[in-house]
């Protein structure tokens, strides 16, 4: 079997030697270039499993090489060697498409971890599911709106990267679900995903919870605690409600991200950390920075890539699909037959602004199913709070047929579900068209779909 090959680019011979020795001990062949031109020539004639490039090269900037590799050789993970403490370059490199960075002077332990991570990013092994090894255990991020389609595409792309991701969005929009999908679709899937609610840790314990502590380092530290960063080693740490981190912990977090090493409270030694960071908050983090409650430099560092989850009211076109999915799931879990949904109920759902977003929709349906008496869920069964933007529900239209009582095969259930989804979609589209006086552009906008996909749906549903 041929050895995996690495491209190393640096104009300092000492560094090239150090890289070559370290990487060949890890079973890699190295080809070296001392400038951009040399690197380009090698890239055009050889195939590589990894590239490490310095930042300043005699004939240009390493970032340009990162950009070229990201666009012409996207299967080659590229990492940047940055000057000590230069956060700007590290962030710029990752924005340009680098999967990670390593600071000078090179720490061999950090370098080895980076190389291991790069090799895991390599060409997917035959038989790997497209969505990654374990993604099947999670509920999918549903939605046909352009925003959700784009979001799923971004998640798949981000999964192959190590850069910190900041997930923003209102409460209940699916931030944690998105973070888990990034983890599960990437090379860290078999290592832990550790979610931490920063707001739930008492402020004076945040440091020791995150970075660990030595026994006896403070009252109550009765034994060594490795900390959550160590617990997530090799995997992903999800810092939820990151805006709640006290300022001293923010300083330490920044350092850890920069150095890739952490010093447990009360310990003399730093331990390497190999963790991908995903953070989230329902707050407006930029406003927290402006208000002096969140450090600008940390914001800049954790926000290398932002993933924004749109509120449900900006994609009401997804409500029918989500509703059908949740009704089906909740009914199955309770051994019930999914109920019909009256048109009035669907209209009420579509017009309700959902301040609690998808989670609230889920809760509303759960409650409705528990309390409803008949076979059809009517608007009144939803017990929606007063609706500021509600319009009167149109009478007359009744929901799709419920499956017949008694057992149904999986296929029959799926077919019934598909049919009820398209019936629901039909009703939603018709109603929206009526509301917009058949202005298709306005209707498409209100439904959160493109004009093209609205036209497609119309013809598929046989609506003139
Ligand atoms: N697009 C979606 N498709 C299917 N289920 C979804 C979707 N978005 C969210 N959910 C579900 O909604 C619930 C809330 O999602 P999640 O916990 O990820 O939201 P969050 O943004 O982290 O909320 P919070 O701000 O309250 O912490 C979960 O049960 C999740 O599975
Ligand atoms: Mg959450």
Residue 143 Cβ < 6 Å to ligand 1: yes
pLDDT at 411: 53
pLDDT at 217: 77
How far away, in angstroms, is 176 Cα from ligand 2 center?
A: 5
CB-based contact 272:117 (threshold 8 Å): no
CA angle 125, 127, 132 (to 5 degrees): 75
Torsion sign, CA atoms 259, 265, 271, 276:
negative
Residue 367 Cβ < 6 Å to ligand 1: no
Closest ligand by atom to 168 CA: 1
pLDDT at 419: 60
Most distant CA pair in the chain, distance: 80
CA distance 167 to 189: 19
Closest ligand by atom to 151 CA: 1
CA distance 269 to 325: 51
Torsion sign, CA atoms 169, 171, 175, 177:
negative
How far away, in angstroms, is 178 Cα from ligand 1 center?
A: 8
Residue 172 Cβ < 6 Å to ligand 1: yes
Which of 165, 176, 238 has the most ligand 1 atoms within 8 A of CB, as the residue to mutate?
Answer: 176
pLDDT at 422: 65
pLDDT at 412: 53
Residue 116 vs residues 129, 205, 286, 309, 426: alpha-carbon distances, Å: 21, 33, 35, 32, 51
59-86 burial, b for 16+ CB within 10 Å, e for fewer? eebbbebbbbbbeebeebbbbbbbeeeb
Residue 71 Cβ < 6 Å to ligand 1: no
Instruction: List all residues 6 or more positions away from 368 whose beta carbon is below 8 Å from its beta carbon.
Output: 377, 381, 382, 383
CB-based contact 130:166 (threshold 8 Å): no
pLDDT at 426: 75
How far away, in angstroms, is 366 Cα from ligand 1 center?
A: 15
CB-based contact 134:274 (threshold 8 Å): no
Residue with tokens 């509120």: 311
CA distance 74 to 98: 10
pLDDT at 349: 94
Which of 138, 166, 170, 177 has the most ligand 1 atoms within 8 A of CB, as the residue to mutate?
Answer: 177
Other residues' Cβ atoms within 10 Å of the Cβ of residue 434: 11
Residue 201 C-alpha from the chain's centroid: 23
pLDDT at 63: 94
CA distance 325 to 340: 13
Q: Please list the residues that pair with 54 across neighbouring strands.
A: 81
How far away, in angstroms, is 170 Cα from ligand 2 center?
A: 9
Residue 459 vs residues 224, 425, 429, 434, 462: alpha-carbon distances, Å: 65, 13, 12, 17, 5
Closest ligand by atom to 167 CA: 1
Residue 141 vs residues 197, 262, 368, 446: alpha-carbon distances, Å: 22, 34, 23, 21
- Residue with CA closest to ligand 1 atom 25: 171
How far away, in angstroms, is 138 Cα from ligand 2 center?
A: 15
What are the chain's domains? 5-120 (3.40.50.2300), 143-310 (3.40.50.300), 313-460 (1.10.8.60)
pLDDT at 414: 52
Which of 174, 181, 182, 240 has the most ligand 1 atoms within 8 A of CB, as the residue to mutate?
Answer: 174
Residue 349 vs residues 195, 263, 330, 345, 463: alpha-carbon distances, Å: 31, 51, 17, 6, 23
CA distance 447 to 68: 38
CA distance 214 to 50: 37
User: Which long-range contacts does 103-110 make (Cβ < 8 Å, 24+ apart)?
Assistant: 103/258, 103/259, 103/260, 104/15, 106/15, 106/18, 106/19, 106/81, 107/260, 107/261, 107/272, 108/22, 109/272, 110/260, 110/261, 110/272
pLDDT along the chain (464 residues), means of 10: 88 93 92 94 88 94 92 87 80 86 88 87 46 53 92 91 92 95 91 91 89 82 84 94 94 91 89 93 93 94 92 94 91 84 91 94 91 85 70 36 39 55 72 83 79 74 71
CA distance 107 to 19: 11
């Amino acid at each position: 079997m041929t050895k995996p090959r690495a491209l190393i680019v640096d104009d300092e011979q000492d560094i090239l030697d150090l890289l070559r020795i370290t990487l060949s001990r890890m079973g890699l062949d190295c080809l070296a270039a001392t400038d951009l031109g040399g690197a380009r020539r090698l890239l055009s004639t050889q195939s590589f499993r990894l590239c490490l490039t310095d930042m300043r090269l005699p004939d240009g900037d390493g970032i340009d090489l990162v950009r070229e590799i990201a666009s012409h050789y996207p299967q080659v993970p590229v990492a940047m060697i940055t000057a000590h403490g230069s956060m700007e370059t590290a962030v710029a490199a990752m924005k340009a498409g680098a999967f990670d960075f390593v600071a000078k002077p090179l720490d061999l332990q950090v370098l080895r971890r980076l190389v291991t991570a790069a090799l895991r990013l390599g060409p997917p092994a035959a038989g790997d599911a497209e969505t990654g090894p374990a993604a099947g255990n999670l509920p999918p991020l549903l939605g046909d709106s352009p925003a959700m389609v784009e979001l799923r595409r971004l998640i798949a792309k981000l999964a192959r990267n190590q850069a910190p991701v900041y997930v923003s969005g209102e409460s209940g929009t699916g931030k944690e679900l998105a973070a888990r999908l990034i983890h599960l679709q990437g090379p860290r899937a078999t290592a832990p995903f550790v979610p931490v609610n920063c707001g739930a840790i008492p402020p004076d314990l945040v440091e020791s919870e995150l970075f660990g502590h030595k026994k006896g380092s403070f009252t109550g530290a009765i034994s060594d605690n490795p900390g959550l960063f160590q617990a997530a080693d090799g995997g992903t740490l999800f810092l939820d409600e990151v805006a709640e981190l006290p300022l001293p912990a923010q300083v330490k977090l920044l350092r850890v991200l920069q150095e890739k090493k952490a010093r447990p409270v009360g310990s003399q030694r730093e331990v390497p950390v190999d963790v991908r960071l995903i953070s989230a908050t329902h707050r407006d983090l930029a406003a927290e920075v402006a208000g002096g409650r969140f450090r600008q430099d940390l914001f800049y560092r954790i926000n290398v890539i932002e993933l924004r989850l749109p509120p449900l009211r900006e994609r009401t076109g997804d409500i029918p699909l989500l509703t059908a999915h949740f009704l089906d799931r909740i009914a199955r879990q309770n051994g019930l037959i999914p109920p019909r949904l009256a048109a009035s109920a669907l209209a009420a759902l579509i017009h309700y602004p959902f301040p609690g977003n998808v989670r609230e929709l889920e809760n509303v349906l759960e409650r409705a199913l528990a309390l409803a008496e008949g076979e059809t869920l009517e608007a009144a069964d939803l017990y929606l709070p007063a609706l500021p933007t509600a319009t009167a529900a149109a009478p007359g239209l009744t929901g799709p047929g419920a499956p017949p009582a008694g057992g149904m095969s999986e296929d029959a259930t799926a077919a019934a579900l598909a049919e009820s989804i398209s019936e629901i979609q039909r009703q939603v589209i018709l109603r929206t068209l009526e509301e917009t006086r058949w202005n298709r552009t306005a209707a498409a906008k209100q439904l959160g779909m493109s004009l093209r996909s609205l036209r497609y749906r119309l013809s598929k549903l046989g609506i003139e």
